[in-house]
Amino acid sequence: MTENAVVAIALIGGLAAACQWLAWRVRLPAIVFLLLAGIVAGPVTGIVRPTELFGGLLFPLVSLGVAVILFEGALTLKFSDIAGLERVVRRMVTTGMLVTWAALALAARWLAGFSWEMAALFGGILVVTGPTVIVPMLRTVRPTERVANILRWEGIVIDPVGALLAVLVFEFIVSAGVSDAFGQTLLTFLKLVVVGVALGVAVGYALGEALRHNWIPGYQFNVATLTAVFAVFAISNASVEESGLLAVTVMGIFLANRKGVPIEEILEFKESLSLILIGGLFILLAASLDLARLGELGWVSLQVLAVAQFVARPLQVLVSTWGSALSWRERTLLAWIAPRGIVAAAVSALFALQLEARGFAQAELLVPLTFVVIIGTVVLQSFTAGPLARALKVSEPEPVGFLVLGAHPLARAIARALVQNKIPVLLADAQWDNVSRARMDGLRAYYGNPLSEHAELYLDLAGLGQLLALSPDTHLNELACARYRRDFEPRNVYALRVRSGKEGRATAAPSGRDAFGEEASYAELSRRLVRGAELRTTKLTEAFGMKEYSDRYAERAVPLFAIDPKGRVEVFASGAKVTPGPEWSVIALVDADAEGESREGAAAAEAPVASA
C-alpha cells in the first residue's frame, strides 16, 4: 500500500510538471491540461484516488494549500495600486463583483435547485478570475492596452478579495447552522471576523518587524514566512473554527502594505511552491470529481455555465464601465473574458469537504458544478478570445516595443532614445537602484527577475514584441533569450555581447541575435557613454542618406536602431540587412568629439538624448 502511495504521489508530480510544460509550449493556461490530467487519472482510470491515498490527511493538505495560495495572492494586493487604478477596475472588484455574485447565486438557486445557502456560497466562490489564467490568455489575445490593464489588475485584485467574500459567506452559513437565533449567528460571525483580522494583523506585524530589522537571516526568510502562515492558520482555526483562511489573507494584505518589508524576497518562495501547489492541487481536486454527481446535474450545469458567460459577466462589465470612456468594442471584449482559476477550484473543494462533514445537503454538488464553470470558461475563452478581439478590432497591432533586460545607465540611455521616438519600452532589472533611477527618469520599469514565476504572471508585455538583453551577465542574457523566444518571434530576440573580440565570442546568446553587430559590446558601449557619447536620432533625406551618414561619422558612431516612416523599428544586428532610406530615422551612440564636426551640406535633423 505504501509503495502504491509513493507511485501515485510521484505520478501526480510528474503529471503536474508535464502539464505545465505543455501549457508553456502551446501558450495556454496550465489549468486546462491539469484538469484533464486529473480527470483521466482519477474518475476515468482510477489510478489516482485522493481519498484512499491521503485518507484523513486530504482535508488538512487542501486546507494548507489553499491558505498558502490565498496568502500569496494577498501579498500582491497593495492599497497604493488600487488607489491609482482606473474607476472601471475599482468597480469591477466591488459593485461589479457583487453583481456577479448575485447572478451566479440566482442561477444556482433557480436552475440547479440549490438551497439559498449553497447558492450564495457557489456565487461567492466563482466571482474570482485570477492571474494564473488571465495572464497567459492576454499574451495570446494581445488586446489593447486599456483592456489588458483592466483584465490584468482585476485578476490580481479580485483573487484575494473574492476569496475573502467566499470565506465570509461560508462562515456565515456555518454560523447560521449553530443556532436559530439571529443574534447568536451574528455574534459567531463577528467573533470569526475579529479573531481572523486581529491574528492576521498581529502575526503580520511581528513577521514584518522581524524581516525589516534583519532579525531573521536572509536564507531563512522563506522558511520563516511559510511557518508563520501555517502557524496563524492553525492558531486562528483553534481559536475560532474556520477563521484561518481569513487570518492568512489579512496577514498577506498587511505585509504587502507595510513599508520597508522586503516583500520581493518573500515572494521568491512563491515561484517553486506555487507551481507545486497549483499543479498538485488541481490534479488532486480533478481526480476527486464524482462523474456520477456531475451526471445528476446534466444539462443544468451547462445552463449555469451559460449564465456565467452570457449573463453574469456582461452585467458586471455593464455596471463597472457605465459612464467610462471605453468603446463598445472594448466593453464587449471585457464582457467575454473572465476565466475561473485555482482559487475557485481549491476553495470549492475545501468548503465542500467541510459542509459534507457537517451534513449540509447538496454540498457534494458544489465541486462538480464549480469545475464545469472553470473548464467551460477557460476552454471556451482560450480558443475564442483572440479571434473575437481581432474581429472587434481591439487587439494590438504587431507590437514594436522592446522589453529591455537591464536598467543600468546604458539601458536607460537606450530606452530614453526609443521612448523619445514613441517606441514603447519596459526595462526589467533585479537591482532596485537601477529600477528607481529609471522610474525617476519617467521610464517604465519592472523590479524583479524577468525569468521568475512572478514575472510570468505580472510582467506586462502589452505593446512589446522584441527582447533586447543588455545585462552584463552573459548567462542571464542567454536564459532570457531562450525564455522569451516563445513570447516574441525568434528573429525579434537580441542580446548584446558582454565583451567584444575573441573574449566576447562566448558571450553571444545562442538563442538571440547579436545586438548592434558582432563588434558592439556592453563594455565598449558603456565606456563610450561614460566618456560623453550621446544617443542621437538622425533623420535621413534624399541628400543625406545612409552612405553620407556613415561617411560623416565613420567609427565615431555605433548605429543601434533604424525606424521606418511607419514607426517600425529594425535593430542593427549581426546578419540583419538594414537598409534605411529617405524619411527613416537612425538612432546611434555618437562619440562626443563628433558634435563639433561641421554640419555644412548635411541635410539631417538630429535630436540628442540626454546622457545617463
What confidence tens digit (pLDDT) does each residue in 329-379 have?
999 999 999 998 777 887 888 788 888 888 888 888 898 899 899 889 988
Percent of the chain as helix, strand, coil, to the nearest 5: 65, 10, 25
Residue 433: all three cell numbers together: 537602484
Residue 423: all three cell numbers together: 517606441
Give the confidence band of 426 by pLDDT, cuts at 50, 70, 90. Answer: very high
| Average model confidence (pLDDT) across the chain | 82
Residue 328 identity (one-letter amino acid) = W
| Residue 552 CB coordination number (10 Å) | 18
> Burial, 398: exposed, middle or buried (Cβ in 10 Å; 0-12, 13-18, 19+)?
exposed
Distance, in Å, from the CA atom of 70 to the CA atom of 77, rounded to the nearest integer, reads 11
Alpha-carbon 204 to chain mean position: 24
Give the confidence band of 611 by pLDDT, cuts at 50, 70, 90. Answer: very low
Helices (H) and strands (E) in the chain, counts: 26, 11
Distances (CA, A) of 371 to 378, 404, 444, 543, 585: 10, 39, 38, 67, 54
Angle between helical axes of 244-256 and 221-239 (0-180°, round to 10): 140
The arrangement of secondary structure in 401-609, i.e. its CATH architecture, is 3-Layer(aba) Sandwich (3.40)
Alpha carbons within 13 angstroms on the beta-carbon side of residue 218 total 4
> Burial, 295: exposed, middle or buried (Cβ in 10 Å; 0-12, 13-18, 19+)?
exposed
Closest-CA residue to 600 (of 547, 562, 546, 543): 543
In the chain, what is the straight-line distance between the N-terminal and C-terminal CA atoms, in Å?
66
Show me where the domains of the chain are located: 2-392, 401-609
Alpha-carbon 16 to chain mean position: 19
**Cβ neighbours of residue 582 under 8 Å, at least 6 residues apart?**
540, 541, 542, 545
Closest-CA residue to 337 (of 71, 19, 29): 29
Q: What integer pLDDT is reported at residue 501 of this predicted model?
A: 56
Whole-model pTM: value is: 0.69
Q: What integer pLDDT is reported at residue 595 of this predicted model?
A: 45
- Mean pLDDT, to the nearest integer, of 208-222? 82
Q: What integer pLDDT is reported at residue 414 of this predicted model?
A: 93
105 touches 308 (CB < 8 A): no
**Confidence check: pLDDT of 406 > 80:** yes
Alpha-carbon 81 to chain mean position: 15
Output the DSSP codes for 493-536: EEE--SS-TGGGGGGS-TTSEEBT-TT--HHHHHHHHHTT-EEE
Q: What are phi and psi of 446, to 5 degrees?
A: -100, 125
Give the confidence band of 85 by pLDDT, cuts at 50, 70, 90. Answer: low
Can you give the three-state secondary structure of 161-217, one letter per residue? HHHHHHHHHHHHHHHHCCCCCHHHHHHHHHHHHHHHHHHHHHHHHHHHHHHHCCCCC
Give the confidence band of 82 by pLDDT, cuts at 50, 70, 90. Answer: low
| Percentage of residues of the chain with pLDDT beyond 70 | 87
50 touches 38 (CB < 8 A): no
Distance, in Å, from the CA atom of 229 to the CA atom of 222, rounded to the nearest integer, reads 11
111 touches 303 (CB < 8 A): yes
Which helix H or strand E contains 266, and what residues bound it? helix 263-287
- Mean pLDDT, to the nearest integer, of 11-40? 82
Q: What integer pLDDT is reported at residue 506 of this predicted model?
A: 43
3-class DSSP assignment, residue 557 = strand
More confident residue, 514 or 140: 514
**Confidence check: pLDDT of 428 > 90:** yes
Angle between helical axes of 366-392 and 30-39 (0-180°, round to 10): 150
Distance, in Å, from the CA atom of 317 to the CA atom of 592, rounded to the nearest integer, reads 55
**pLDDT tens figures, 186-204:** 676 788 788 888 999 999 9
- Mean pLDDT, to the nearest integer, of 571-576? 80
**Confidence check: pLDDT of 1 > 50:** no
**Confidence check: pLDDT of 578 > 50:** yes
Distance, in Å, from the CA atom of 238 to the CA atom of 241, rounded to the nearest integer, reads 6
Distance, in Å, from the CA atom of 210 to the CA atom of 194, rounded to the nearest integer, reads 24
Output the DSSP codes for 104-152: HHHHHHHTS---HHHHHHHHHHTT---HHHHHHHHHHH-B-HHHHHHHH
- 557-563 and 493-495 as β-strands: parallel, antiparallel, unpaired? unpaired
| Residue 294 CB coordination number (10 Å) | 17
| CATH number for domain 2-392, candidates 1.20.1530.20, 1.20.1630.10, 3.30.300.30, 2.40.110.10 | 1.20.1530.20
Distances (CA, A) of 606 to 15, 590, 602: 57, 11, 10
More confident residue, 429 or 30: 429
Closest-CA residue to 524 (of 549, 497, 554): 497
Distance, in Å, from the CA atom of 65 to the CA atom of 51, rounded to the nearest integer, reads 16
- Mean pLDDT, to the nearest integer, of 169-183? 66
Distances (CA, A) of 392 to 144, 149, 332, 405: 11, 18, 8, 33
3-class DSSP assignment, residue 558 = strand
**Confidence check: pLDDT of 31 > 80:** no
Angle (CA) 442 399 607, round 5°: 45
**pLDDT tens figures, 271-312:** 567 667 778 877 887 888 878 877 778 889 999 999 999 999
| DSSP bridge partners of 562 | 570, 586
Distances (CA, A) of 60 to 6, 38, 48, 280, 454: 19, 20, 18, 14, 27
Q: What integer pLDDT is reported at residue 564 of this predicted model?
A: 87
More confident residue, 397 or 562: 562
Output the DSSP codes for 399-447: --EEEEE--SHHHHHHHHHHHHTT--EEEEES-HHHHHHHHHTT--EEE
Sign of CA dihedral 15, 16, 21, 23: positive
